[in-house]
Structure 1
Amino acid sequence: MDSHITDEFALLPENAAELGLELPTLPPAQRVRTDHDDGHVSGIKWGDEPPRAVFLHGGAQNAHTWDSVILALGVPALAVDLPGHGHSSWRDDGDYSPWPNADAVAVAIRQWAPDAEVVVGMSLGGLTTIRLAAVAPELVRRTVLVDVTPASIQRHQAMTQEQRGTVALAAGPAAFDTFDEIVALTAAAAPHRSASSIRRGVIHNTRQRDDGRWEWRYDRMRVLRDFALLWDDLARIDVPVALVRGGASVFVADEDVEEARRRVSGLDVHVVPGSGHSVQSDAPLELTEILRVHL
């Protein structure tokens, strides 16, 4: 696989084959962009019809983290690059917390997916979804939070390097001499994933600089806020909420689930056995079947 691909969708056939999907044709996918007061939000619009689902990725990821799930799900969708990630613009203040994220994402959803049936958010994307549902409830008719609660940042701070998995890469080196160096580092952090899926992920999440070195395709969060404030926003959501936990992840503790149940009436909880924090990467087909229930 060429790490210098010019068509970001050229890897989709390999992705579908690895999942065992027999697709006569791949769904059309196009890069879209929405300008807002602090820059622009980029995303991938899947299908020719209005998106039925919106996907928000985690910190240090990008919209392509959802490729496998969207291919398997087979419905029109919008996968958004959060501010400071993927092809979205970076903020001068380095604040990529759920508050400014939700404001920026809301503009994109209003333009590209105003009638989506569900918003799916993983990790930082899940926290952004909580804030989005509180301040723009007309855009969130149902939500699925993937391995995150407002207490997850607290859990993260107490984790070992191994428990953090690929999330730990965001605190490591920012630039590398070669592309393969990044692939090796990522593979070491996620030894349970296939070499091809890791390489695809690194291709989408890196770029080569003018000096020949490679860097991540995301900015680093330089403003830390109290994410526990989002518990109150979670309690304000009056649409169906589901929580998907990675069975091998420690980002969500049992007591966090109980607190979420106290805040959200009828919270629907799913556990994906063996999956780590990034359920969409570790168990995309299992997550897809859960999402079908919420469409």
Structure 2
Amino acid sequence: MPTEFDLLPENAEEIGLGSTPLPTVTRVDTEVDGHLTSALKWTAEPPRLVLLHGGGQNAHTWDSVLLALGVAALAIDLPGHGHSAWRDDHDYRPLPNAPLVAATIREHAPHAELVVGMSLGGLTTIAIAARDPGLIERAVLVDVSPESPRRFSELSGKDRGTVALASDGPDTFDDLEELIELTAMAAPNRSKSAIRRGVIHNTRQLPDGRWQWRYDRMREQIDSEPLWDAFSASTIPYKLVRGGASAFVADADVDEYRRRRPDIDVVTVPGSGHSVQSDAPLELAEIIRTVLDKTR
């Protein structure tokens, strides 16, 4: 019976690892107030790194980055995504996410040196850092600011990328190939094999044979001001990674980050869209490695 880890050799080959032995990856769960949060634990060692994906994604979005890094890590499925439970209120905003994700970090990665959060995962990281001082030592935010949800709502067409499929697309599809083709059109810079892997990890087949995304759609709007306040309240070191071809973080957002925290480090990955981990996994892995090296 195929498992969710059977595609890892393909990831490894695509990023040039060849016959390098692959790490052991296991799924671990945490239950808080009856709500299940699931995660992938990379190696049996205590995780040095925690990763939080974006809206409409899941923990497997980090597979290539983690294979390139080769460090013990915990990649969490955000509430309502991947193998984590869906909420009855469909509220997956960063502030409601924070206690559930924090409990997962506390149980499975209490001594992690770094949290990397992309998009919704980055905003959730900001919320956790303010809510649970001491749980996160430092953070990397991948192509997100508290203004990103508003900026996405103002985008149209190709500028929305694959995020448009998560928020605006149909609820179900006739077959997997239809989903793969739609995703490929929204992410022309990614290989077809990478897109196929991503779709396989992010879908499930319904009893009637149709296919559905493996996430619940957010019903609430994300308000920027509480997240800016949370960012200001936190004292941990932050690094912002921008996608050079992404419209999700504007120069004005960077200015606001710097106004509130002049010490924030900002780096841009040329040519990458919003999902830097998918468009430029090796480049992002090297950025993360540099931050981890500072913790030693």
Residue by residue, what CA displacement relative to the aligned partner does 1:33-77 show, whole Å, maximum 9, x if unpaired?
Answer: 000115110000001110000000000000000001000011000
1:176 alignment partner, one of 155, 169, 173: 173
Distance of 2:95 and 2:197 partners within structure 1: 30
Pair 1:103-2:99 in alignment: yes
Give the Cα separation in 2 of the matches to 1:175 and 1:38.
28
User: Paired residue for 1:90, among 86, 91, 112?
Assistant: 86
Q: What whole-Å deviation, never above 9, does each CA across 1:89-118 have from its counterpart, x for those lacking one?
A: 000001000011111001100100000000
Does 1:56 pair with 2:47? no
List per-residue Cα deviations over 1:107-156 (Å, max 9, x = no partner): 10010000000000000000000000001122110000000010111111
1:144-293 pair list within 5 angstroms:
144-170=140-166, 171-293=168-290
Aligned partner (choices 111, 116, 119) of residue 112 of structure 2: 116
CA deviation string 1:138-176 (max 9, x = no partner)? 211000000001011111111112101000001110101
**2:126 — aligned with what?**
130
Partner Cα distance (2:19, 2:190) in 1 = 23
Per-residue deviation, 1:287: 0.5
Aligned to 2:20: 24
Q: Give how far 1:265 is off.
A: 3.1
Ranges in structure 1 where 5+ consecutive residues have no aligned partner: none
Q: Are 1:93 and 1:223, in contact at CA under 8 Å, matched by a contact in 2? A: no
- 1:200, 1:15 → 2: CA distance? 9
Deviation readout 1:225-277 (Å, 9 max, x if unpaired): 41332001001111110000000001000010010011113100010000000
| Residues 1:135 and 1:23: Cα distance change in structure 2 (over 3 Å) | farther
Aligned in 2, Cα 1:225/1:272: closer, same or farther, shift over 3 Å?
A: closer
Count of residue correspondences: 291
Indicate conservation of the 8 Å contact 1:102/1:129, yes or no. Answer: yes
Contact 1:95 1:224 in 2 (8 A): no
Out of 128, 138, 142, the residue aligned to residue 138 of structure 2 is 142
Matched, 1:39 2:35: yes
Match of 2:264, as an amino acid? L
CA distance in 1, matches of 2:20, 2:197: 22
Unaligned residue ranges in structure 2 (runs of 5+): none
| RMSD between superposed Cα atoms in Å | 1.0
Q: Matched residues in 2 for 1:189 and 1:34: separation?
A: 34
CA contact (8 A) 2:149 2:222 kept: no
Counterpart Cα distance in 1 of 2:181 and 2:108: 37
1:117, 1:68 → 2: CA distance?
20
1-side partners of 2:20 and 2:217: how far apart? Answer: 40
Q: Which amino acid aligns with 2:163?
A: V
> Which range is displaced more, 194-203 or 216-225?
216-225
- Runs of 4 or more consecutive aligned structure 1 residues displaced over 6 Å after TM superposition: none
| Structure 2 equivalent of residue 75 of structure 1 | 71
